[in-house]
Amino acid sequence: MLDETLDDWGTARLTLNRPERHNAFNAELIAALEEAFTRLGEADEVRAIVLAGAGKSFSAGADLDWMREAAGWSEADNQADAIGLSGMLAAINDCPKPVIVVAHGHVTGGGVGLVACADMAVAIEGAQFRLSEVRLGLTPATISPFVLARIGARARRWFLTAEAFDAATAQAIGLVDEVAADSDAADAVVAHWLTHIGQAAPGAVADAKRLALDFAGQPISDELREESARRIAARRVSAEGQEGIHAFLNKGRPSWLID
């Protein structure tokens, strides 16, 4: 259901492995994703996490059998279930390690939510994205905080029309960062990102990600400026900060570099 590997470099690779269901979500897959991102986010040996999908699609959103079952639940039960999905997305979005998504094939509903939670995303040409919920009489409510954080007001069109859009459009609206011609080209894009991540201090990367999450969209207030100053001061006196500055000034090699 969710395959996992870890290489010597520190790249954890997670693969959604329900190809017969186009990697659609059910309760078990949601729980497995939340557990994996929480655990890997805390693991010192992990430098980055790459999420992809097996088979013809990245993820087609909610599993039809799961949706059929949920239709018979009470509103309270449905809310509890939706909180579970939101918790999984938050585990990805807030993971202190860089998260890279490789999207291909159908990327629908909650699959779009997964992409929106990534720090970097590459789509393979031919990928088809769709926020299809309104066609089912539903809304993309649970994934909406993450999608809106990623693409802003441009989400309004796609929320309302539920029309499909291609990889180039996904890049144009900011849902993905790059478009690759095929899987080999996507691997090259991922390798490029990983090379740069390997030059950066892991703790600084985690703190920089937290900056992007905490400060985005905030007014530039006295309180925000004070908090930004507090955070850089903490970094300057940290072990990583001291090592990095010393290495730079003395043309040395910090311990975190990966060739």
CA–CA separation, 218 and 215 (whole Å): 5
Tally helices (H) and strands (E) across the chain: 11, 9
pLDDT in tens, 62-93: 877 777 777 788 888 888 888 999 999 999 99
**What are 34's two structure tokens?**
């939340």
pLDDT in tens, 24-42: 999 999 999 999 999 999 9
Predicted pLDDT of residue 81:
85
Of the pLDDT bands very low, low, confident and very high (cuts 50, 70, 90), residue 156 is very high
2-197 folds as 2-enoyl-CoA Hydratase; Chain A, domain 1 (3.90.226)
